[in-house]
A and B are shown apart, each in its own frame.
Chain A
């Protein structure tokens, strides 16, 4: 008896008691759907965070002032103001460093015609879009000459531009920052992030201009470093640390700066995300297990109900293994169809979650494959016991069964 015949037989069998078949399937449907949806949400969260981190810049190191130690009191990280523009210049000379951008910042009030907003004014160099991986949507980023001559030019973040009501034709317009007129030269492309730490809400001006109007001295808030080659990150990190230690007269035990590694952050978040997905999937698997027990239960009832049929089939030539295959394939058909429906439902639920909660959802083909394999396994594991019971029935006993 061919597998195709078996499947046809199982299907026609299952069609004769649709409601029961559906209810049996429901366990698997719910199980698979929740696995697919929860793993999808978990992976979506992970890849969302990963994408956001990658959006911060390629091969990025961020050098920040470390904590100061005065007496026995250790202040919070970043409280020291030990980094200077000269430090940035020195880092730029380190082997393997592609570009460097020192940053200073203040909050300021911006006005453009009728529009106004309060946002961060970032002073930096022309290397900023390269290091921080920004694209320019409109106009251009200011050049080195603008920095050298401390020109009053500004590049707006996408959100800031729209807050000011100048999303279109911004380059060439004049806006005021704390009352001082600046010419808009460009608008950054959005990174699609939102919330309090949006990378799209800021106004960027040359660092020299920033010092002239909004800050003084040559201390910087942080220094972004783009490393030429991803494989050279560790080496560059060590070289930068050595350079700064030497310049600041400190050792590795009392460093007054920290160097944050994007890759480190990335891998930490990825592994947290993977654990999250696994945990969610694990919880969802329990419902799949319950679904499997449901299949076994119904199959056992079904074997009992169909004892006479089994006896008849044996009498007219079916072998034990034919009966075994028949029941096993019935269980498999239930679990596979349930699995397929579950995948579709799971995907729909994920889409719903992502649109309602605003989370991103990832559909990996691996999850789908795992769901199919898993539901197949459920069918085999929970179908085998009833099927063996059916196959072992003595035909005479089965034929006498009322």
Chain B
């Protein structure tokens, strides 16, 4: 396996600010009829190079928290800083830029583009960064080969197993060399063997210095992380 270079660190060390800094964040869904408070005041720091598991039962607010950490959503109240940047200062394009440059997503159901080859799928984040096609495909090849999919480059998602699809999704998250990898129940739809494989990959990436935030409701998956954060009813309980 070829080594992937460590991401540019934001001033590593004790004095450095955390990569993720969440203070008093709430998120209330306004469904029109009722207001659903999904997060009720969350404080959380994640440092560069950490492997953190966010654990909680279904409906406890994990995905909501991940959406905020991933800059897909904004808190109703409270502050959130990522890589020193307060997202309250960002417009929608600014959030898109953070998602593009700083964050790599791995979703529970892979969320690959249908009818699109593995290589093109992995190259897509680079497309949105404006990288030229040739470089894009070249750069997309490396993480796929690293994850053992060198012979599946031209396969479309429907031609891949669940485990292979999830590895393509991880390759896609890696291709932009993000500071943070956010994985929401990445093993949720996989059989035990494939799930363990995915966890092993995340481990390895963390060993190379990448910051990983893993969201799961399975205790044995969470056990692999360096630190566990428990969420219950929209609050963090230690």
Assess A317 versus B101: contact at CB under 8 Å? Given A322-B128, A396-B67.
yes
User: For the complex, is A320 an interface residue (Cβ under 8 Å from B)?
Assistant: yes
The 0/1 profile, CB within 8 Å of B marked 1, for residues 289-331 of chain A is 0000000000000000000110111111111111000000000
Interface residue ranges of A351-402 to B (CB < 8 Å): 395-396, 399
Instruction: Please tell me if A5 contacts chain B, counting CB pairs below 8 Å.
Output: yes
Q: Do B93 and A309 have beta carbons less than 8 Å apart?
A: no
- In chain B, positions 95-149 with a C-beta closer than 8 Å to chain A are 96-97, 99-101, 105, 107, 111-115, 124-125, 127-130, 133
Q: Which of A9, A308, A316 contacts B125 (CB 8 A)?
A: A316
B127 & A5 in contact (Cβ 8 Å cutoff): yes
CA distance A14 to B186 in the complex (A): 31
B115 contact set on A, CB distance < 8 A: 16
A216 sits at the interface (CB 8 A) = no
Candidates B67, B92, B107, B128; contact of A317 at CB < 8 Å: B128
What is the CA–CA distance of A309 and B116 in the complex, to the nearest angstrom? 11
Most chain A CB neighbours (cut-off 10 Å) among B96, B97, B113: B96
A1 pairs with B127, CB closer than 8 A: yes
Task: Write out the residue numbers on chain A whose beta carbons fall within 8 Å of the beta carbon of B113.
Answer: 309, 312-313
| Chain B residues closer than 8 Å to A314, beta-carbon distance | 72, 96, 99
| Residue A70 CB within 8 A of the other chain | no
The residue of chain A having its C-beta at the shortest distance from the C-beta of B94 within the complex is A319
B183 to chain A, nearest CB (A): 13
Is A319 a contact partner of B105 (Cβ separation < 8 A)?
A: no
**Distance of A396 Cα from B125 Cα, bound (Å):** 18
Q: Decide if A246 is an interface residue (CB 8 Å cutoff).
A: no
Question: Is residue B217 contacting chain A, with contact meaning CB distance below 8 A?
Answer: no
Set of chain B residues within 8 Å of A264, measured between Cβ atoms: none
Is the CB–CB distance between B128 and A318 below 8 Å?
A: yes
List residues of chain B with CB within 8 A of the CB of A308.
111
Question: Assuming the A-B contacts A314-B96, A315-B70, A316-B105, are A399 and B130 also in contact, with contact meaning beta carbons closer than 8 angstroms in the complex?
Answer: no
Q: Which of A1, A9, A315, A319 contacts B111 (CB 8 A)?
A: A315
Q: How far is the CA of A317 from the CA of B178 in the complex (A)?
A: 12
Instruction: Using A1-B128, A396-B67, A399-B111 as known contacts, say yes or no to A317 and B72 having CB atoms under 8 A apart.
Output: no
In the complex, what distance in Å separates the CA atom of A8 from the CA atom of B101? 24
Nearest CB of chain B from residue A231's CB, rounded to whole Å:
62
Main secondary structure of the interface of A (DSSP, over half): helix
A6-60 with Cβ < 8 A to chain B: 8-9, 16
Cβ of B43 within 8 Å of any chain A Cβ, yes or no, is no
Instruction: Report B162 CB to chain A, min CB distance, Å.
Output: 17
A9 to B73 Cα, complex, angstroms: 27
Closest to A308 in B: B111
Whole-angstrom distance between the alpha carbons of A9 and B100 in the complex? 19
Of residues A8, A317, A319, which shows the largest number of chain B Cβ atoms within 10 Å of its Cβ?
A: A317
Nearest-CB distance from A17 to chain B (Å)? 9
Residues in B56-94 with C-beta less than 8 Å from chain A: 67, 70, 72-73, 92-93
Which residues on the B side are within 8 Å of A399 (C-beta)?
A: 72, 107, 111
Instruction: Establish whether residues B101 and A319, one from each chain, have CB atoms under 8 Å apart when the complex forms.
Output: no
- B210 on interface, CB distance cutoff 8 Å: no
A168 within 8 Å of B by Cβ? no
**Contact assessment for A319 and B93 in the assembled complex, using a CB-CB cutoff below 8 Å:** yes
Nearest-neighbour CB distance to chain B for A324, whole angstroms, equals: 12
Q: How far is the CA of A15 from the CA of B170 in the complex (A)?
A: 28
Instruction: Give min CB distance, A301 to chain B, whole Å.
Output: 16
Interface residues of A (CB under 8 A from B): 1-2, 5, 8-9, 16, 308-309, 311-322, 395-396, 399
The contact sample of 14 A-B pairs, CB cut-off 8 A, is A9-B127, A309-B114, A312-B111, A313-B128, A314-B72, A315-B99, A315-B105, A317-B99, A317-B100, A317-B129, A318-B100, A319-B96, A319-B97, A396-B73
Q: Given A8-B133, A317-B176, A320-B96, list of 16 further CB < 8 A pairs?
A: A1-B127, A1-B130, A5-B133, A311-B111, A312-B113, A313-B113, A314-B96, A315-B72, A316-B100, A316-B125, A317-B97, A317-B101, A319-B128, A320-B92, A321-B93, A322-B128
- Complex A-B, nearest 5 residue pairs according to Cβ-Cβ distance, in ascending order: A317-B100, A319-B96, A317-B128, A316-B125, A318-B128
